Amino acid sequence: MDNIYDIIIIGGGPAGLSCALYSSRANLKTLVIEKESFGGQMFSTGSIENYPGSSENTTGLSLTNRFKEQAENFGSEFISDTVVKIDIDDKIKSVECEKSTYKTKTIVIATGAKPRKLNIPGEKEFSGKGVSYCATCDGAFFKDLDIVVIGSGNSAFEEAIELTKFGRKVYLAHRKNLSKVTPVILERARKNEKIHFLPEEEIQEIKGNNFVESLVFKNSSTGEITELSKKEDDPTMGVFVFIGATPNSKLISQFTKLEKGYIVTDGEMRTSIPGVFAAGDVRVTPVRQIVTSASDGAIASISAEKYISENF
């Protein structure tokens, strides 16, 4: 069984990287498969203040590199590939990727979630041409331009604050109810002179030619339609969407129980499939933060190790 992994982790975000660290440190043969950027959503986060032990200068990139380096030091293997199918019918499971197929005793699904779309006219057409879902990735493209942020949760308010480093003015279109925003983040946003709040404006359409030129809003109280346009001499304006996420659970959706698309697990990260675990944002959990994902990953690793000891 030399060519069989003890654990294959699908997804290289904080849950997957934490799981890899604990697994390889326990001398389990560990493989992490990630189709995009290691670190997941953490990778593209600007300043990280709420991860224990992080410094004032900690960024998503720096924390990702530290997570990954620790796991590599204990022997975890990392590959960039896309998983197309998993076979969980046998005791030894199979993970089929575009480039190769791997065998394993256990699988941890740590595929996270992807940004939710507005699904309005113009969004798809102008994605990458003014429309973005990552402030850290694309904020610098809108230096000294007007920026509009759409969203009513912590991420929208945090990213709006981040985008004031680049934009001339940042409009924040949000719902009146701000119960999802923590008081400290709300207070920071309110004190930032570059942020202008649009508490009743619901975006209807994104317009432009080659790049975004204007946004159409509808007032939730009066029904009035207004249009916010770029300044005459500006090449474009930025639209950053932060309205939640959709779990990447398609790989396992036909095999196990889901709740609103999220994988249902017990407290030990076990799915209903023996030897298959889930961790991080892809599973049902009341909180989705880097620290909770890292905790999930550690628990999944320990549970997988226990499963292996009892079944192999």
Q: Which residue has the tokens 């959503």?
A: 41
Q: Which token pair is 299? A: 């628990």
Q: Which token pair is 14? A: 């904080």
Note whether 13 and 280 are within 8 A (CB): yes
**CA–CA separation, 209 and 128 (whole Å):** 13
- pLDDT at 46 (0 to 100): 65
State the architecture of 4-114+245-311 in CATH terms: 3-Layer(bba) Sandwich (3.50)
Give the right CATH number for 131-241 from 3.30.40.10, 3.40.50.800, 3.50.50.60, 3.40.80.10.
3.50.50.60
Q: Is 97 a catalytic residue?
A: no
**Shortest CA distance to 157 belongs to which of 146, 169, 171?**
171
Note whether 122 and 207 are within 8 A (CB): yes
Catalytic residue among 2, 87, 97, 134: 134
Q: Is 137 a catalytic residue?
A: yes
Taking each helix axis from N to C end, the angle separating 14-25 and 290-311, rounded to the nearest 10 degrees, works out to 40
**CA–CA separation, 270 and 273 (whole Å):** 8
pTM above 0.85, yes or no: no
| Residues 220-245: b if buried by 16+ CB within 10 A, e if exposed | eeeeeeeebebeeeeebbbbbbbbeb
**CA–CA separation, 21 and 295 (whole Å):** 12
Could you tell me the residue ranges of all domains in the chain?
4-114+245-311, 131-241
**CA–CA separation, 30 and 4 (whole Å):** 10
| Residues 161-196: b if buried by 16+ CB within 10 A, e if exposed | bbbbebbebbbbbbeeebeebeeebeeebeeeebbe
- pLDDT at 236 (0 to 100): 97
> How far, CA to CA in Å, does 130 sit from each of 23, 31, 172, 255, 304?
41, 37, 16, 39, 44
Whether the domain at 4-114+245-311 and the domain at 131-241 fall into the same CATH topology: yes
Phi, psi of 243 (to 5 degrees): -120, 25
Catalytic residue among 2, 87, 97, 138: 138
pLDDT in tens, the chain (312 residues): 568 999 999 999 999 999 999 999 999 999 999 998 887 777 767 667 778 887 777 887 888 889 999 999 999 999 999 999 999 988 999 999 999 999 999 999 999 988 899 999 999 999 989 999 888 778 888 999 999 999 999 989 999 999 999 999 999 999 888 888 999 999 999 999 999 999 999 999 999 999 999 999 999 999 999 999 999 999 999 999 999 888 999 999 888 989 989 999 999 999 999 999 999 999 999 888 888 999 999 999 999 999 999 999
**CA–CA separation, 65 and 190 (whole Å):** 33
**Shortest CA distance to 242 belongs to which of 39, 46, 29?**
46
3-state class of 21 per DSSP? helix
**Shortest CA distance to 32 belongs to which of 289, 300, 306?**
300
Cα angle 33-109-116, degrees, rounded to a multiple of 5: 95
Q: Is 81 a catalytic residue?
A: no
Q: Is the dihedral of CA 77, 81, 83, 87 positive or negative?
A: negative
**CA–CA separation, 29 and 24 (whole Å):** 6
